[in-house]
Amino acid sequence: MSSLSRRSLQELEDAFIKVSFEPESPTASKHADASAPPVQDPLYEPWFERGSGKFVDPAGFGSVALRKIYPNHTITPFQNVNLLGFPHALVEPASPPDVISSLMFFPLARRLGDMTGILVDSVRFGLFKIAWDKYDYLLYVARYPVTYGEMVVQYLLHEGPAEPSRTLLMACGTWDNALHEEIYVFNQGFWNKDHGLWLEVQKANWKDVILKEEFKTNLKKDVNGFFASEDLYRSLAIPWKRGLIMYGPPGNGKTISMKAIMKESDAKGYVPLYVRSFQSWMGEEAAMAMCFAKARQMSPCVLVLEDLDSLINDRNRSFFLNELDGLEDNDGLLIIGSTNHFDKLDPALSGRPSRFDRKYLFDDPDEEERALYCKYWQNKLKSNHAIEFPDALVDEIAVATEKFSFAYLKEAFVSTLVLLAGREKDDTRDFKTLLKHQVKSLKDQLDKSPENATPPRSPWRTQASSFGPRERDQLLPSQPRFSQGRRFWNANPSDLRGGGASSAMPGALPDGMQHGQPNEQNPMEGRRDVRSMAMAAAALGRSFIV
């Protein structure tokens, strides 16, 4: 056929419309080569269509978009670094009206003055200017929804190489990971820093621990000697670890002794870690693994397990013993447990020396110890000339308070002083009369069963637990510190959701100071509650982000 005839035929074909009653495959029309054989696999087309769909990647999109907007800057995306809370950097919004945020109000204690609370900006989108060292930076914060909540992505921009940005993030991360008048507390599967607990521990003093001097000296030597004996342990080729158990009826000095140990160890650089509970969303065994992993990271340190009999049960005992025996390296761990019910501990826990090497019995005080406690109060009150406290009264009270715990003795003195301070003018009863009356009253109420050997609450006052912050509001300074009027920024949605119980030791107020969920990129690290962070930020007069 001539070329003219072929051209005429082609023009004729183009003049007609192809009509078909069979659906045309979009895959075949767009992607298939006409000369290629037809696809036989029935899964090919639906799989190709599903795999070719668009997917959502806001974090990646942000990096690409910022490279186009700031071609001369290096873009450093990052997570879990509290950059806006870094006290060594100057931070301010680039354009406050452009920051998208919602305000949250957090009330403060009335005793702090006219300041009723603080406002926290929960940032959804914002651009901040940061100055640190000799460099200037830009910080973008963006929050977007994900399947089970929200994700926060942050971008640090620097006009120049990336090394200054990495140096800043390393400095900030190092500072944020360190303890600043705080104690690590583990609760509900998260590690949290607790400043309020640190304040409580600072109140402890060995002079206030009324025990026989030999007993107290042996306890202190056991703790201090462990940390001073690393070379000895290694020379003997034995693991450098030790376990102590404090046991006995409640109210006899276990808690205050533990606080004194924590304070002294912290001052010497041996970090105290406090475990409140192994109950968590991920199970007790995973929580135990987190606890020991943190302890190994922070060693040499003191790991405190209060109420050991309630922490260890039939379900988790085997796993706990494996962690304790050190299938992994437990060098530098001093583990101190306490219990009011030593008989409830499994023999595998209480009877094997390589697990808990020493046991210290904190029993109800004998007459000598009761006399020591009375002399302790005699010394405290000697400067009060309105109170007569002769040696004869010391001996009399020591004899009259048989079977009293130290907690009962304390209640007798405190309630006496409260009554003395609130006497009516026509009430002529003196300190001695009131004290003896209170001793008799407590003796009448005293339940001889060791199960209930705790002092009753006085009707005229609230008795806080002996271990833990009385009020989280201690985090705030006095009123004049709030005159700066700074704004507080928060970009982590987990801190605003709450959902975890306060990690403080017993005694924390149940006032809704809840902890958030872990950062999605760093589930091993718990987050502090927003209220505590806001208070700490207010005390420093700076913005913060967690």
Average pLDDT over residues 214-235: 92
Residue 407 falls inside a structural domain:
yes
Residue (of 503, 527, 504, 501) closest to 516 by Cα position: 527
**Which of these three, 332, 361, 390, is where a domain ends?**
361
Tokens of 228: 């001073």
Q: What amino acid occupies position 450?
A: P
* Of the candidate ranges 35-44, 86-95, 331-340, 384-393, the one whose mean pLDDT is the lowest: 35-44
For residue 534, is it within any domain?
no
Residue 355 has pLDDT above 80, yes or no: yes
- 3 state DSSP class of 33: coil
User: What's the CA gap between 514 and 498, in Å, rounded?
Assistant: 5
| 23 Cα distance to chain centroid | 62
Q: Is pLDDT at 475 greater than 60 in this prediction?
A: no
Using pLDDT thresholds of 50, 70 and 90, give the confidence band for residue 28.
very low
> What b/e sequence results for 384-407 when a residue is b if at least 16 CB atoms lie within 10 Å of its CB, and e otherwise?
eeebebeeebbebbbeebeebbbb
What is the reported pLDDT for 122?
85
Rounded to an integer, the average pLDDT of 266-280 is: 93
- Asked if residue 261 belongs to a domain, the reply is yes
Please check whether residues 260 and 285 belong to one and the same domain: yes
C-alpha distances in Å from residue 102, one per residue of 124, 150, 490, 519? 8, 15, 10, 20
The structural domain count of the chain equals: 3
pLDDT at 514: 35
Asked whether residue 476 is assigned to any structural domain, the reply reads no
pLDDT at 74: 96
pLDDT in tens, 302-338: 999 989 989 998 898 999 998 888 667 888 999 999 9
Residues 206 and 355 in one domain: yes
Overall pTM surpassing 0.85 (yes/no) = no
User: Are 81 and 100 within one domain?
Assistant: yes
In a domain, 11, yes or no: no
Residues 336 and 223 in one domain: yes
pLDDT reading at 94 higher than 60: yes
- Supply the pLDDT for residue 34: 53
Q: What is the per-residue pLDDT for 14? A: 60
Q: Identify whether residues 167 and 221 lie together within a single domain.
A: no
Read off the tokens for 432: 């001695």
- Whether 40 shows a pLDDT value over 60: the answer reads yes
DSSP code string of 166-197: HHHHHHHHHHHHS-SS-EEEEETTEEEEEHHH
pLDDT in tens, 527-546: 344 444 444 444 433 333 33
Of all helices (H) and strands (E), which one includes residue 377?
helix 367-380
Do 116 and 215 lie in a common domain?
no
List the single range of 24-28, 69-73, 317-321, 478-482 with lowest mean pLDDT. Answer: 478-482
Between 12-26, 103-117, 205-219, 492-506, the lowest mean confidence (pLDDT) is in 492-506
Counting runs of H as helices and runs of E as strands, what totals does the chain give? 19, 14
Q: What is the pLDDT of residue 459?
A: 38
Provide Rg for the chain, Cα atoms: 33
Confidence check: pLDDT of 403 > 60: yes
pLDDT exceeds cutoff 70 at 358:
yes
Is the domain of 381 the same as that of 347?
no
Domain boundary among 452, 468, 485: 452
Helix (H, G, I), strand (E, B) or coil at 126: strand
Rounded mean pLDDT, 434-449: 81
- Final residue of a structural domain among 410, 437, 452: 452
In a domain, 440, yes or no: yes
Domain that includes residue 170, residue range = 58-177
In this structure, which amino acid lies at residue 395? D
Question: Are 230 and 346 members of one domain?
Answer: yes
- The answer to whether residues 103 and 131 belong to one domain is yes
Q: Is the pLDDT of residue 172 over 50?
A: yes
Query: First vs last Cα of the chain: how many Å apart?
Result: 80
Q: If pLDDT is split at 50, 70 and 90, which confidence band does 21 have? A: low
Phi, psi (deg, nearest 5) at residue 273: -120, 130
- Over range 126-139, report the average pLDDT: 95
Identify whether residues 218 and 357 lie together within a single domain.
Answer: yes
Distance in angstroms (rounded) separating the CA atoms of residues 239 and 299: 13
Q: Which of 59-68, 130-139, 325-334, 404-413 has the lowest mean pLDDT?
A: 325-334
Q: Which pLDDT band, with edges at 50, 70 and 90, does 354 fall under?
A: confident
Q: What is the mean pLDDT of residues 134-163?
A: 92
**Predicted confidence (pLDDT) at residue 512 exceeds the cutoff of 60:** no
Same domain membership, residue 355 and residue 383: no
220 pLDDT more than 90: yes
In a domain, 510, yes or no: no
Return the CATH number at 217. Answer: 3.40.50.300
Q: What is the mean pLDDT of residues 477-500?
A: 50
Buried b (16+ CB within 10 A) or exposed e, 114-150: ebeebebbbbbebbbebebeeeebbbbbbbeeeeeee
How far apart (Å, rounded) are the C-alpha atoms in residues 196 and 365? 31
My answer on whether 78 and 145 are in the same domain is yes
Going by pLDDT thresholds of 50, 70 and 90, the confidence category of residue 59 is: confident
45 lies in some domain: no
pLDDT at 408 over 60: yes
